[in-house]
Structure 1
Amino acid sequence: MLLEALSKYPYEGLTRELLSLGMSWVVMYSDLNPDAEDIANALEGALNSLEDKIRLNISKKMSKNDKQSFDKVIKAWFNQSAPETYGELFELVIRETIELLKQGQIDLVRSLSKVRIDKGGIYLGVEYKRETAILPAILKQPEYYEYQSGFLVPTTGQKAQIRLDPLWFSLIAVGFLISFAGLIRGKYYLITKPGIETFWPYEIEDIIEKGLIPLTEAGISGKIGLSTEELYEMKLAMRLAETNTFVPPEVYPVVLHLISLEGRAYAELKTLQLDLSELTGYLQRYVENIERLKISGLQVMVEIKEKGTMVYKYPLWALVDLAEEEISNEVSGDNEMLAYIFVKDLYKAVNSGNKKLIEDAVFRLFRQGRALLEGSARVSRELKRVLKAFMWKEHMGVLV
């Protein structure tokens, strides 16, 4: 039932990825052919399991047009006013749809089997109380304005719409909650797994519970924003290593969607394919080896200033932080992106999976770092401190 329903959705892109995530959650809780009770239980499970995300401020206020549209629909569907934010809207629709399913007010087979396409747009499901909801702007506009696919290409001089009944809306909302990896400096971070339905039904739990959930939670807890692809992947992998979280290799690749309100419309600023398998393995071994040295009495942490306070960090963590500062501050002159160059070099070597390339990158960093410390070039005090820690014999052994 669910595979057939998903196959009727005609476009690739973010909306399909969120829809397949929401359906995957249902499959994880039941099977490919759930009944109304199964879906209600799955949606309840989503609200409970993803409660920490829901309680975060996971979205801004809705646009004026969306608020007006959803006020009308939510009033008709649930006899309530639409909330102010998209996150609250998603939670409300999921919660109320659970009740509709329990009360037998949704014809499950009819809803999932009905997908209609005409000049006015795409209609998913059936009208409930003579109303369907539009796809929220935060999801519709990024695909429309970035032209990532044929999605919503106007056919009559106006933007085509996607209209949803409560069940389809709930599935997309669950997909959004699963994928949500942070709202940082006004930008939304969503991590999805295109083609996730190929893992139905037996492997889907590992992909979601051991993959997407830990990845997105790492992004949220670490407040990890995108400065460059290398630094984003490094910081995400560092967070997983700190918590000793293993993500199965079959989870990768995943896709990061970076969405921002640009002017009056949401746009997809970046779409990146991520594979942290090599990085996470390397950094987990790095952390384990340093912790062993600490137990034996060797101190290989470096003390640096962070927000006015001196803190101890792993030397590699400190170097990545300095690299991010260089990118943010657009460092130039003698100090031009030195930390970032070092990190990027190591990032490439680790991702190659070639131990010899990793050794070459580490020793190249050692030689260049020593030249900086002993030469006349102006180097920041923090970078000097980190480079000295990097070049301790014990730490070099950990790196290679």
Structure 2
Amino acid sequence: MRLSVGQALAAAAGLLSVVDAQGYYGSVSAELSACGSDNFINLGCFPGFEVAAGFGFFKFNPQGYNPSDPSRSFPGWDPGSQFNNTVTPLDCARVCRAYGYKFTALRDNSCSCGIQLPAGYSPDGVAVCDVACGGDSTQTCGGGSSAQIYVDPTFAANDQVPIVASNPAIASYYEYLGCYNAPGGFPTTDGRASVLVADIDACFNLCAGMGYPLLHGAPDNGQVRCICGTAFGLGAYRVHPQLLPTPGVCNTTCSAPDGIFGDCDISTDRCCGANNVYPIYINTQLQGCYTPRIPGYKTNPSDPVYECDAISDTLTGPPTVLDLPEYDPSLILHGHTALIRMPVVAVPRGRTYYLNGCYGRTILDVVDSLVSYHVPTATFTPATLDHCAALCDNLEYNIFSVLNGK
């Protein structure tokens, strides 16, 4: 054991690295392809966020990546482990866009996404946003009670989609997307958008009034169970109606008694579904430049792969009828994404180095002054974590760090 002091300060072996490649995968490249750039607009620092907006309007909080259930999690998004943290304004805004949301809010390093802002809610000089971001301490991610709010400018202007209880004008733009088995419904919804309403027209008007681009309904004791959302949940897939074990379940008349299926013309009427199988409707005017992924066909849930389903461009955003907003280009959010660092580095001899954390230069200087071994830059080629780990392993060092490629 050469590094007894180093062991005591093992936190300094945080694998600091500027050579790590950006670890994102998933939809970020698709977002950039669809939207052209990270063009989010910084609206400012807003006071009293939780009371004024958080509880009612920003109900979706993305979670760290969970491959077994990506309904609320995003690849590369790590909001708070001890070893990684990708919470920055740009990262948060990208995640919200990936789930079909217009607004992004950061309060005290917590990221949340919303469809609308409360009427009259605006930035204020009283608001203080001074909390350093977990993914980049040079940026701020809200305050104790205040939030930094960003908007995706590819959605319709706010005055084009006012917050109302019912919006028949916007509801007229919903179009039939397809018949889907959606056992998890829409994970990107909230209590206001999962309710019993009088009929299917009330469901369309409700979802339009809240700005949700997706909806489905089901008969429920003479009323309609209305669900609005922005993205599909886990296990959803499109079905071939002619292959359904219960014919007509995806084109049920919304006023039909429970258990009575069919009798709704899906090409001309607003229909309902049952037994987790629903006709899904989508509203182009309530989408931005990026449309969250829409699942393809399956015959049953156990099918290992989806059958591709080409969605017409006429069913995806951004708006073609409603006006887009105009913002000062100086308000565009600038900032790099946070790195995702490897949690483990293994070397051929069998030793494994575990990521201990990310630490600043001060503590590294302390360790450096006590005991360390520097690999000459010329021999550290290629400048990778694997190479540094192998060099230190050969010298029987138990910890290592990489700083500025050295």
**What's the TM-score once normalised by structure 2's chain length?**
0.25
Query: Higher helix share goes to which structure?
Result: 1
Relative to the length of structure 1, the TM-score reads: 0.25
